[in-house]
Structure 1
Amino acid sequence: MGIVPQEAIRQVQSLMDQVEEPLKRTFQNVHQGYLVETLVRFLKAREWNVAKTHKMLVDCLNWRVHNEIDNILAKPIIPAELYRAVRDSQLVGVSGYTKEGLPVFAIGVGLSTYDKASVNYYVQSHIQINEYRDCVILPSASKKYGRPITTCVKVLDMTGLKISALSQIKLMTLISTIDDLNYPEKTNTYYIVNVPYIFSACWKVVKPLLQERTRKKVQVLPGCGRDELLKIMDHASLPHFCRKEGSGSSRHAENSQENCYSLDHPFHQQLYNYIKQQSLIREPIEPIKQGSVHVDLPEPAPEGTEIAKTIESELHKFGNGNGLPPSLDALKIADN
């Protein structure tokens, strides 16, 4: 490590104390009062190198200011029909909490199509969920459990993976790069469930390309993962696709309020209403506009590009069979 953690934290904190407005203001939105935990996340992402961590933080804050990220939760995707189309094709939601109070994010990797809107809308939606998690969900969980809760767990459902997933690699690489640079180390563990038969072969090729700290976070569970996940969360918090073996498509549940991907699920209703309320507060200052929020899209890191190319190569080997999704690149996979 080269430098003891406490000393590294002290040095980075000293450097961050010197930043001026508006970086200082957006940094407060990043750490939400949990300064040390935030510095540790960024230090982990840069292997505890103080200079690299400081640069990463300053770059992140400049990105936030330039792209008005602090206001993104006041910019709804409208009309509502378009937002519903985004939700139906970008399958993500919160199903509940672990017994330790960590939010459980469910991600429908295999059945997400990302074909109902432009790239900018999907990036906007992803960042809004990140910001809602960091500004609303995690602070609320911290207050409820009486201790800092600054990370989540993610359950990745691989149901429905096909060779067509190749078309999503570019978008998923963009999203994972945004997460790597600006929301590092936000995921405690990735649980991968409902894996297709070729997953193991592809995983052997991709796994060595992932950073060690990411590899340690990934757990591939048998079947729908129900039995293993029940060790860390109650049944009510299980994603709908983990509740019954062989339940088929994980896009839909019998009850839309149990399907955490659905716009009708309490999580998405709360998120949608929160964004709408924030937009009404800002409306006198800035009228609500239709159209997506344009965020500067970063160049993927070399290791991310290598992972994407490896996934593409492996998928082609399997012809038209089911394959490993580009979202495994998002395990570089989004240390978010």
Structure 2
Amino acid sequence: MDPKGPSEGGRDSIWTVDVEQNKVRLMRIFVEREDPTSKEADDLMLRRFLRARDLDVEKASALFLRYLKWRRAAIPNGLISESEVQNQLAEKKMFMQGFDKKGRRIGLVFGGKHQSYKRDFEEFKRFVIYTLEKLCGSMQNGEEKFIAIGDLEGWGYSNCDIRAYIAALDIMQNYYPERLAKVFLVHVPYIFWTAWKIVYPFIDDNTKKKFVFVENKNLKSTLLEDIDESELPEIYGGKLPLIPIQDSTA
């Protein structure tokens, strides 16, 4: 018999939940005092910001208040319309593909279709927000996270856009914390590592752990560990046709 007793793990889990709940309550008191619109946020949202700052109430509150201010400026109408990102959508680089085995929404982006030389920076940032809003807004059964597949087949120097990559990371990490579960990077060309070394320092420690580089020979088997064949895109040996993000529904 385990000398710690059969229920010790359960007690630890309960203790962790209680700590989080207490910190959520403290955080709510603080942020509502600073910004009354915080009342519209549910406890799950506050908990995501807490976890993103390792349960530090002060840091999480500052991040959340910054998020509220950012959202009013970045999404004044409550959403990003397709007409505001039409050039980005025209590149046909972003798809929203079913759900993984845990019920997490799947996003698929083709890095080789990003035209860095002609992109408008502000439109690109709106496109990142549009994408994240679509992914998060289509989650089901209480799930809070999504997974992504970053396909870099054909990626070259003409697609390299360090400024855009850093901007996308900033938006995701600071304004959509604890939403990303995992990123599979597939068909990674050798020249991509130059860009990766530049971007890597801008990725926070929690997010770094979520990147999985997949070898071509193990591509299908690796993806099938998380995604059923019926939900896996056809291009990776699955059965689901590609669905452009603007055409995808919940």
Look up the match of 1:52: 59
Matches for 1:173-322 after TM superposition, within 5 Å: 173-197=166-190, 210-223=203-216, 225-243=219-237, 258-260=241-243, 265=244, 267-270=245-248
Is 1:12 the counterpart of 2:27? The answer is: yes
C-alpha displacement at 1:196, in angstroms? 1.8
Return the offset for 1:177.
1.4
Distance 1:56 1:20, change over 3 A: closer
- 1:182-222 CA-to-partner distances (Å, cap 9, x unmatched) read 11121111111112245568767865774331222121122
Report Cα offsets for 1:99-132 as digits up to 9, x if no partner: 2110011111233214555222222222122223
Q: Which moved more, 1:115-124 or 1:181-190?
A: 115-124
Cα distance in 2 for partners of 1:175, 1:203 equals: 14
Distance 1:67 1:200, change over 3 A: closer
1:155 partnered with 2:142: no
| 1:165 aligns to 2:159 (yes or no) | yes
Aligned-partner residue type, residue 25 of structure 2 = R
- 1:214 match: secondary structure: helix
Counterpart Cα distance in 2 of 1:62 and 1:127: 15
Mark the CA change 1:206 to 1:127 in structure 2 (over 3 Å): closer, same or farther.
closer
Q: Cα distance 1:119–1:207, how it changes in 2: closer, same or farther (>3 A)?
A: closer
SS of the counterpart of 1:106? strand
Q: CA RMSD in A?
A: 3.3
Task: Could you tell me which runs of 5 or more consecutive residues in structure 2 were left unpaired when the two chains were aligned.
Answer: 1-18
Partner residue of 1:309?
Answer: none
Following superposition, the deviation at residue 20 of structure 1 comes to: 4.5
| Change in 2 beyond 3 A, CA 1:8/1:202 | same
Match in the other structure for 1:65: 72
Letter in 1 for 2:65: V
SS in 1 for 2:185: strand
| Cα pair 1:86 1:114 within 8 Å, conserved | no
3-state SS, counterpart of residue 165 of structure 1: coil
Percentage identity across aligned positions?
A: 20
Q: Which amino acid letter does the alignment assign opposite residue 168 of structure 2?
A: I
